[in-house]
Amino acid sequence: MPFTKWEDFMSKSDVTRRGVLRTGAVAGAGLAVPTLFTASSAAAFTNEPTGSSVTLGFNVPQTGPYADEGADELRAYELAVEHLNGGGDGGMMTTFSSKALQGNGILGKKVEYVTGDTQTKSDAARASAKSMIEKDGAVMITGGSSSGVAVAVQALCQEAGIIFMAGLTHSNDTTGKDKRANGFRHFFNSYMSGAALAPVLKNAYGTDRKAYHLTADYNWGYTTEEAVKSSTEAMGWETVNTVLTPLTQTDFSSYIAPVLQSGADVLVLNHYGGNMVNSLTNAVQFGLRDKQVNGKNFEIVVPLYSRLMAKGAGANVKGIFGSTNWHWSLQDEGSKAFVRSFGTKYGFPPSQAAHTCYVQALLYADAVERAGSFNPCAVDEALADFEFDGMGNGPTLYRAEDHQCFKDVLVVKGKENPSSEFDLLEIVEVTPVEQVTYAPDHPQFAGGALGTCNPGA
């Protein structure tokens, strides 16, 4: 083989091995004669880190309506990198049940990172992820603040042979019909929200209720509506009507006004982000919560809460039930350690988006450490059916069949007397994991296949 020597610098692949060059290991490569499509590449998998460092890609919304959530995710990632490299107080690494992480980077390689802007658009998110893979040699992509983006980037990572650790994504589809072997989700999902909320709603509002759903007219809205509907109907509630609202809607008055006429006594707002802030504000404006219908107090439910968005709705969230993946007021050791190190560094408590992203980064690093390799297939194996604790959600399982984490779900309520601008939600109940676990072939997750792990290259 006359060109053996050059093979190290050329590869037939969709991705580059720039990690080699970035770290300067290429000294003396000189002028290489290009050989078209050398038989097989030297790398075992895409973007195999060969130098003294490893690059991770943090793909979060930095512009558009979710920019603040993205900024919080980025803070969490920076904190995670600091901890992985042995800086700071170690955060959750000290409470994490797996002790594989040493604080010396990942497999002894210093963790470096690149950032990108998803703009909360699937196209832009993929462009940004591609540049991380092709240009920066990232070996793992993580982040995002919507299911559309998560599903799009997850499919891309599967194709490229990169691990994707989803950020905030709540639609059933991410680990349902659009699941991929290279993608992993720590965040909870619509089904879990419904399953966790139902018993609490039953205790608070009784079993004889008529619900009216307003649902965002896109995939996440559909799965959430279905989940909440089926779990509340199972306990005896009646669904009076479900109305779809356009994503671009800003004023929900014309959807909320007819609610009282319908005879419903509960309004479920399957909205997220700006939609949720506006629809909730509008609903409270209409004075729905002061009304009596069917001899009961009218109530509003928001299936997916986020503290950042609750802040946008202001006083309107008071007393309104919802579910959340994690909240900073949790008192377990893991949460306390994370809130301490995040709060000390940035001056305010982390959001649930920050938490899930931080945990995802640590889980990935730990999986690599335990597998002894960055190879996506090895990581896949290490994460499959991995059980852990100490990350703020109690004992957790990363299920092999769909790469979804199973853990306790928090049911929260808007706080009546917040002591600060961060203290908006109070935990009503920690729904144990058994109640939110479902079979991998549950109808709400039907269709699609996980496929097999793709190491790329």
Partner 1 sequence: MEAIILQILNGLDKGSAYALIALGLTLIFGTLGVVNFAHGALFMIGAFCAVTLSRILTLSHEVIDPTRVDFLGNPLKVDVPYLYDWFGVETGDMIIDWAVPLSILFAIPVMIGIGVIMERGLIKHFYKRPHADQILVTFGLAIVLQEIIKYFYGANPIPTPAPDAFVGSFDFGVLIGFEANQIIYPYWRLVYFAFACLVIGAVFAFLQFTTFGMVVRAGMADRETVGLLGINIDKRFTIMFGLAAAVAGLAGVMYTPINSPNYHMGMDFLVLSFVVVVVGGMGSLPGAVLAGFLLGILESFASMAQVIDLIPGINQVIIYLVAIIILLTRPRGLMGRKGVMED
Partner 2 sequence: MFGLNKKDTTLLIIVAALCAFAPFLLNPFPEGSDMAQFNAGYPDLMQRFVIFGIFAIGFNILFGLTGYLSFGHAAFLGVGSYAAVWMFKLLSMNIIPAIILAVVVSGLFALLIGFISLRRSGIYFSILTLAFAQMSFALAYSVLTPITGGETGLQLALDDPRILGISQTAQGNIPVPGLFGMEMRDSFEWAVGSWLFTFNFGYYICALIMLISFYVSIRIFRSPFGMMLRAIKSNQQRLNYTGLNSRPYTLAAFVISGMYAGLAGGLMASMDPLAGAERMFWTASGEVVLMTILGGAGTLIGPILGAGMIKYMENIISKINETILHEWFYWMPDGIEDLLVAMVYPFIGKGWHLTLGIIFMLVVIFLPGGLVEGGQRIANLFRRRKAKKDDTKGTTEPAE
Q: How far is the CB of 65 from partner 1 (least distance, A)?
A: 6
**Is the Cβ of residue 62 or residue 95 nearer to partner 2 in the bound state?**
62
Residue 124 binds to partner 2 (criterion: CB under 8 A): yes
Distance CA(145)–CA(69), nearest Å, equals 7
Which of partner 2, partner 1, none has residue 122 at its interface (CB below 5 to 8 Å by kind)?
A: partner 2
Closest to 260 (Cα-Cα) out of 231, 232, 281, 290:
290
**Is the Cβ of residue 114 or residue 427 nearer to partner 2 in the bound state?**
114
| Region for 322 from its dihedrals, namely left if φ exceeds 0, alpha if ψ lies in -120 to 50, beta otherwise | beta
The residues, ordered by sequence, that sit 6+ positions from 27 with a Cβ below 8 Å of its Cβ are none
Which residues in 432-451 contact partner 2 (CB under 8 A)? 448-449, 451
Tokens for 8, please give them: 């190290």
**Is the Cβ of residue 68 or residue 381 nearer to partner 1 in the bound state?**
68
Beta strands in 190-298 (DSSP E): 210-216, 238-245, 266-270, 292-293, 296-297
Q: How far is the CB of 90 from partner 1 (least distance, A)?
A: 17
From residue 365, give the alpha-carbon distance in Å to each of 18, 52, 386, 453: 21, 15, 13, 18
Residue 233 binds to partner 2 (criterion: CB under 8 A): no
Residue 123 binds to partner 2 (criterion: CB under 8 A): yes
Which of partner 2, partner 1, none has residue 91 at its interface (CB below 5 to 8 Å by kind)?
A: none
Which of partner 2, partner 1, none has residue 66 at its interface (CB below 5 to 8 Å by kind)?
A: partner 1
Distance CA(174)–CA(90), nearest Å, equals 30
| Dihedral sign of CA atoms 57, 404, 62, 414 in order | negative
Among the listed residues 42, 50, 65, 67, the single contact to partner 2 using CB under 8 A? 67
Among the listed residues 42, 44, 82, 134, the single contact to partner 2 using CB under 8 A? 134
Number of residues forming the site for partner 2 (CB under 8 A): 71
Binding mask 182-221 for partner 2 (x = CB under 8 A): -----------------------------------xxxx-
DSSP state of 443: G
Which of partner 1, partner 2, none has residue 446 at its interface (CB below 5 to 8 Å by kind)?
A: none
Among the listed residues 7, 9, 333, 430, the single contact to partner 2 using CB under 8 A? 9
Which residues in 148-177 contact partner 2 (CB under 8 A)? 148, 151-152, 155-156, 158-159, 171, 173
Strands 266-270 and 299-304, by their bridges, are parallel
**Is the Cβ of residue 146 or residue 396 nearer to partner 2 in the bound state?**
146
Which of partner 2, partner 1, none has residue 99 at its interface (CB below 5 to 8 Å by kind)?
A: none
Closest to 180 (Cα-Cα) out of 455, 452, 457:
452
Which of partner 1, partner 2, none has residue 178 at its interface (CB below 5 to 8 Å by kind)?
A: partner 2
Amino acid at site 380: D
Residue 251 binds to partner 2 (criterion: CB under 8 A): no
Distance CA(219)–CA(150), nearest Å, equals 12
Which of partner 1, partner 2, none has residue 45 at its interface (CB below 5 to 8 Å by kind)?
A: none
Residues that bind partner 1 (CB under 8 A): 63-68, 217, 241, 243-246, 248, 250-251, 253-255, 257-258, 260-262, 274, 277-278, 281-282, 285-287, 290-291, 293, 308-309, 311-316, 328-329, 339-340, 343-344, 348-349, 419-420, 422-423
Say which residue the tokens 């989940």 belong to: 227
Residue 65's SS3 state is coil
Question: Within its chain, how far is the Cα of 325 from the centroid?
Answer: 9
Interacting span for partner 2 (CB under 8 A) from 34-42, 224-232, 304-312, 358-366: 34-42
Residue 11 binds to partner 2 (criterion: CB under 8 A): yes
Helical packing angle, 352-371 and 376-383, nearest 10°: 110
Phi, psi of 334 (to 5 degrees): -60, -50
Contact between residue 343 and residue 230 where contact means Cβ atoms under 8 Å apart: no
Among the listed residues 44, 244, 260, 397, the single contact to partner 2 using CB under 8 A? 244
Interacting span for partner 2 (CB under 8 A) from 31-39, 101-109, 258-266, 286-294: 31-39
Closest to 358 (Cα-Cα) out of 85, 93, 149, 180:
93
Distance CA(142)–CA(11), nearest Å, equals 26
Residue 2 binds to partner 2 (criterion: CB under 8 A): no
Distance CA(60)–CA(168), nearest Å, equals 10
Residue 265 binds to partner 2 (criterion: CB under 8 A): no
Residue 122 binds to partner 2 (criterion: CB under 8 A): yes
